[in-house]
C-alpha cells in the first residue's frame, strides 16, 4: 500500500463518522476556537480552515491545541509551500482546489494527508496514478454535479469524492446518497456574518440541522 493510499484509508474512516465538512473562513484566532468548539459540540468534528485569511495557520494551530476532538484540516492549499506550512501548523489533512505534479510530489514526504481537487476525468486519472483514491470534487455544481459523479461510478468504481462548491442543505442529501461520495463540504452552516457577530447559538443550530441531512441521505 502506497503512502497516499494509507493516508486515504485512515482519513476515509474518520470522515465516514460525520460526512459534512464545514468550510471555514475566519478572521481571528479567538473566533476560530469558539467556532470549532461550537461545531464539535454540535457533532461536526471534521473542519476545513481555508487559507484565505492571514491568520489561517494560527487558527489551525490553536484548534489543534485547544479543541482535541476536532479533526482540523486546511483548505485552499495551492502548492508545496502551503502544504508544508499547514503541516507544521498541525493540520490533520489538507485539501486543494486542484492538483499539480509539484503538489503531489510535496505530499509524498509529509504525514499530513492531501485530498487533491479534481474536476475532470483526466485530473482524476493523474491522481489515481499518484496513488490517491479520495478526491475533492470542485467546483461540484459548476463542474457537473451529481450527474458527473454518477457517470464516474462506472470507470472509477473504487474512487471516493468530497463534493464542494455550490452545495446547499437542499442538495447535500442527494450527494450523500451516492455510493462514491464520502462526504460533502460547504459553508452554509458557518456564514461569515454570524461568525463576525459571534452568534454561536445560531451556528450551533445550523450545524445540528446537518444531522437530519445525514438521516435523509
Residue with grid cell 441531512, as numbered in its chain: 213
**Distance (Å, whole) CA 162 – CA 76:** 14
**Distance (Å, whole) CA 193 – CA 144:** 29
**Distance, first Cα to last Cα, the chain:** 31
Among the options 34, 45, 136, 147, which is catalytic? 136
Distances (CA, A) of 44 to 11, 125, 129, 181, 203: 15, 31, 32, 17, 11
- Indicate if 84 belongs to the active site: no
**Strands across the sheet with 117-118, in order?**
117-118, 134-137, 160-163
User: Are residues 123 and 103 in contact, defined by beta-carbon separation less than 8 angstroms?
Assistant: no
Among the options 9, 48, 130, 147, which is catalytic? 48
- Indicate if 136 belongs to the active site: yes
Could you tell me which residues come within 8 angstroms of residue 109 by beta carbon, excluding any fewer than 6 positions away? none
Task: Please tell me whether residue 24 adopts helix, strand or coil conformation.
Answer: strand
Written as nine digits, the cell of 30 is 479567538
Show which residues are catalytic: 48, 136
Amino acid at each position: 500500500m502506497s503512502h497516499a493510499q494509507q493516508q486515504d484509508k485512515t482519513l476515509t474512516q474518520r470522515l465516514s463518522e460525520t460526512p459534512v465538512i464545514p468550510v471555514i473562513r475566519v478572521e481571528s484566532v479567538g473566533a476560530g476556537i469558539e467556532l470549532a468548539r461550537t461545531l464539535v459540540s454540535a457533532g461536526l468534528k471534521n473542519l476545513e480552515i481555508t487559507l484565505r485569511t492571514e491568520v489561517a495557520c494560527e487558527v489551525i494551530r490553536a484548534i489543534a491545541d485547544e479543541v482535541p476532538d476536532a479533526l482540523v484540516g486546511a483548505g485552499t492549499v495551492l502548492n508545496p509551500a502551503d502544504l508544508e506550512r499547514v503541516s507544521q501548523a498541525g493540520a490533520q489533512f489538507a485539501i486543494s482546489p486542484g492538483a499539480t505534479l509539484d503538489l503531489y510530489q510535496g505530499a509524498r514526504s509529509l504525514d499530513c494527508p492531501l485530498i487533491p481537487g479534481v474536476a475532470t476525468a483526466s485530473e482524476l486519472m493523474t491522481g489515481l496514478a499518484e496513488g490517491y483514491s479520495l478526491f475533492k470534487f470542485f467546483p461540484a455544481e459548476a463542474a457537473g454535479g451529481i450527474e458527473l459523479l454518477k457517470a464516474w461510478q462506472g470507470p472509477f468504481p473504487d474512487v471516493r469524492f468530497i463534493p464542494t462548491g455550490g452545495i446547499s442543505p437542499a442538495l447535500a442529501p442527494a450527494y450523500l446518497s451516492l455510493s462514491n461520495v464520502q462526504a460533502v463540504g460547504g459553508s452554509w452552516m458557518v456564514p461569515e456574518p454570524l461568525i463576525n457577530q459571534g452568534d454561536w447559538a445560531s451556528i450551533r443550530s445550523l450545524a445540528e440541522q446537518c444531522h437530519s441531512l445525514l438521516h435523509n441521505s
